[in-house]
Amino acid sequence: MAKDLLSQLKTMSTVVADTGDIDAIRRFEPTDATTNPSLILQAAQHEGRRERLAGIARHATHMDDALDAVAVEIGSEISQLVPGYVSTEVSARDSFDTEATLARARSLIARYAQQGVGAERILIKIAATWEGIQAARQLEREGIRCNLTLLFSFAQAQACADAGVTLISPFVGRILDWHRAQWPEADYSGDNDPGVKSVKRIHEYYKGHGYKTIVMGASFRNQEEILALAGCDRLTISPALLSELAESHGSLERRLTATEAETSPPEPQSEAEFRWELNEDPMATEKLAEGIRRFADDQRKLETLLSKLRQA
């Protein structure tokens, strides 16, 4: 009998759990785990965490302090279950403020150190705005590794590679969502999926130019998108789709390969070039803004939850 698809995928790509659910991480045994404000909000509502989070809320000097403490609390739990990276996101409100992102990232790393988790285990997640990418450039120089998220365009991928970031998270499913809304009758199966095409292009560009930045496909809508990217450096997958892959059998073919560099990297983009190319891509412009708004909204919901726990 053929092995399940998840087991086969793990031989081709590093599988990452896209969740703050401790039970799911124990079940699927991923190498890394990623979180974001939405996932932290879900994890924070678990009944078993309420007492601990109430204590954090009461002792915090201000709400930003409480939010970061909660993210590190959950991230530290996860770090005990995975051997690799744990991604923790800075505040969405800092997405257009380089200095604020730098301060928040350094604070998160310091908090992890207090919990006994070294900087080498943490990826600081930052939205791939121009300001976020410049913050990541400086953090990488300081030895703080970064995961640039909400990445929808080739321009963002180019800028991240130029900045020397450790990892990028190009979104697949949200790109598909946008195209389906625009052209609902089109065929998006298999290699026609625009999100899959985007990640393949980025992966080929990075490998062809010798960039060390890790490509981690993210935001999947179905297992077909995941299987179409088998061989990508990393794939971050929700518990529901991890379960689906674990229960599915068949032969899995490697779709992406890490070819040797063929040419030297091109000249880095200027800020004006980056902003113009992003502006010329309506899908990326809209999905980046929408993603930041969504994370900010879930951050506000977490603030409301912590305020209630503080008063309880």
Within a 13 Å sphere around the CA of 49, how many CA atoms are in the beta-carbon half? 20
Strands (E), 143-302: 146-151, 167-170, 214-217, 234-237
Considering only CA atoms, which of 145, 138, 142 is closest in space to residue 163? Answer: 138
Per-residue buried b or exposed e for 282-309, using 16+ beta carbons within 10 Å of the residue's own CB? ebbeebbeebbeebeebbeebbebbeeb
DSSP tag of 127: E
Other beta carbons within 10 angstroms of residue 228's beta carbon come to 26
Considering only CA atoms, which of 302, 311, 291 is closest in space to residue 64? Answer: 302
Tokens 């996860």 correspond to 78
DSSP tag of 218: B
Give the separation between CA 116 and CA 60, rounded to whole angstroms.
Answer: 20
3-state secondary structure at position 251:
coil
3-state secondary structure at position 219:
coil
Residues labelled as active-site residues: 125
Give the separation between CA 159 and CA 151, rounded to whole angstroms.
Answer: 11
Question: What angle separates helix 154-163 from helix 282-311, to the nearest 10 degrees?
Answer: 70
Helix intervals (H) in 142-193: 154-163, 173-182
